[in-house]
Structure 1
Amino acid sequence: MKFDLHTHHQRCGHAIGTIEDYVKQAIQYDLQYIGISDHSPYFYSDEDHLFPTIAMQKSEFIPYIEEVLRLKKKYEDKIHVLLGVESDFFPKHIDLYRNQYINQPFDYIIGSVHYVSDVNIFKKGRWEGLSSAEQRGVKEEYYSLIEHSAKSGLFQILGHIDAMKGFYPAFSEIQTDVIDNTLKIIGQQDVAIEINTSGSTKDCGGWYPADDILERALFHDVSVTFGSDAHTPERICDDFEQVQTRLKEIGYREWVYFVEKKPVKTSL
């Protein structure tokens, strides 16, 4: 079974191609399932398009859903098109976001922490001048937010759970027990984490999360899924087979995808 649950398109302002471009590319790559999961709008803002190069505008949210559903129908004899969204996790706005999603026919929602202390996790230079204790505090706040996102009940998948290393590879070396505690909670909440192969496009290289985190995730019975986080159609399913192989080496025997918010297990 070949699938990819994490893809973006031109609505978010930093990806290339239409949704249909991704569907057609997925068919060409012989996928059985392609998930469309563009960045949700900043619903808490009074502005329609708060950050045009980061996420879609609020007025495009329903047209986005309608387009995916139309393409689901159009290509149903060739591929399963899944309706998803990558949602920011803002604890103080969680009910607002929940109300935006609750009546929509999503197959899954990816919950991603992109902001810690109101600063984007990918902002270059955010680590400059911090002491070891301050760095540890930032990392622990990051994973505390991921824990809360797992407990929220809003998400089926948690996105790129060590992505803060993207432009700061030394993030992985900051010593703290918080990751293991977070994985234990994720396992208890029965939420999946993704193996996200877009780390190869950042300074850190490799995937999110790193192998040591995947090993501990297996120990805590955390389900895993796959997402390329493609921002161009050509990156769909990037490193899919390599991820399969590595997961088997670690000890996984299955992973999941989601249809109508229900996990579907499939062998590696």
Structure 2
Amino acid sequence: MSTLLADTSDPDLGLLRAVNGLAKSSPDWLDALVAWVGEYGILLGLAALGVTAWLQARRAPDAPVAVAGLLWAPLAVAVSELANLPISAIVDRPRPFVDHPELDVLVEGKEGTLSFVSDHSAMSMGIAVALLLVNRRLGLLAGVLALLQGFCRMFVGVHYPTDVIGGFALATAVVLLLAPIAMAVLVPLCHALTRTAAAPLIVAGKRGAPGPGGDGGRRRRRASRSSADPDPGEPDEEPARDLAA
């Protein structure tokens, strides 16, 4: 098969063989655990970090700005995945086990798909960099998970090291280069949401704007009824005229 990166460099393949070789000498339960962590576990962990960052951002003095930064994380991941579609088609690099059947592949269903860049690596690093811009501590923890994600993709034999590095670079570029444009849209949006019923999603402890049936509507209805009812302290004029007659 003629591909743009068919002639894989020795360091790239050598590192992949070294990492994937650990799977051959590991017990089956560890191989299964690493395969699950690399496919689903790390992404679930990053989602949990995102929720934690959101709960903390809602209590920040500049909560709308912080929440806007967190909203950029999933959007940046989506943009990275869209950008990867033409890149993957242009590079046209098959999975490493296609040209190197000696590799120990621990994940099924990857046949017929392309290797460059690693989607899992791009998603993980995109979330990590976006979190780092908002919450340094959680962002660093997410960065560790992203690096672990890259290791897992090589351990299970579905990506070259350069696939992982390419995913990291793509996501980082998308997050940092497009962040000013994204924040110019998301910050005003979050500020606007603080004046709606969705306010508790942006600022902790802030009640949303009352709707037509809320407290404001009830107060207006009570005021309308009280203005329409006669004052019980004033005498009825009609009976007074009758007595005068």
Which TM bucket (shorter chain)?
under 0.3
Higher helix content, 1 or 2: 2
Q: Which structure is richer in relative contact order (CA contacts within 8 A, separation 6 or more)?
A: 2
Taking structure 2 as the reference length, what is the TM-score of the superposition? 0.25
Taking structure 1 as the reference length, what is the TM-score of the superposition? 0.23
